[in-house]
Amino acid sequence: MKKLLLSGIFFLASSVTGFSQEITCLNKLLPYNRHSGLHQLASDEWPHAKDYLDSELVTLSLNFLTQSKLFCRNGEMVIKIHPICTSIITDIAQSNTCFAYTNLGYFVISKDNNKNINFIFNRDKRYSE
């Protein structure tokens, strides 16, 4: 009886481990099998308080999103080209938008009212490995 119970526990543990290994960072970035995914870092969960986006903040926020919020494995998402940021309308700080190119696809990043950081992730084979 004990062998049967231990075998059942072992089988259950290995099934859960196998299932959790199948969920990749790409699956987390693209919920529901879509071609793009929306993500947000709220101001209360993101401690870096800059009023505007720049390439340094984008790099930090992407790493925080993928590793601390989505729990992607270390090195699973790699920024391939230094993020590029530009202001769409020069007098409006919220119009500062960034583009980040990674091994999984690309991100368009913006801030709303200089508080929350919003990410649009797109899977594009031209931009991935």
Structural domain that includes position 54: 2-127
Q: How many structural domains compose the chain?
A: 1
**pLDDT tier at 123 (50, 70, 90 boundaries)?**
confident
Residue 34 pLDDT = 75
Coil, helix or strand at residue 105: coil
Report the chain's mean pLDDT, rounded to a whole number. Answer: 81
Residue 60: burial class (beta carbons within 10 Å; 0-12, 13-18, 19+): middle
pLDDT given at position 12: 55
Q: Is the pLDDT of residue 93 over 90?
A: no
Read off the pLDDT of residues 5-42 as tens digits, 9 standing for 90 and up: 555 565 555 554 444 457 889 889 987 777 788 999 99
Percent of the chain with pLDDT over 90: 40
pLDDT at 62: 94
Strand pairing partners for 85? 98
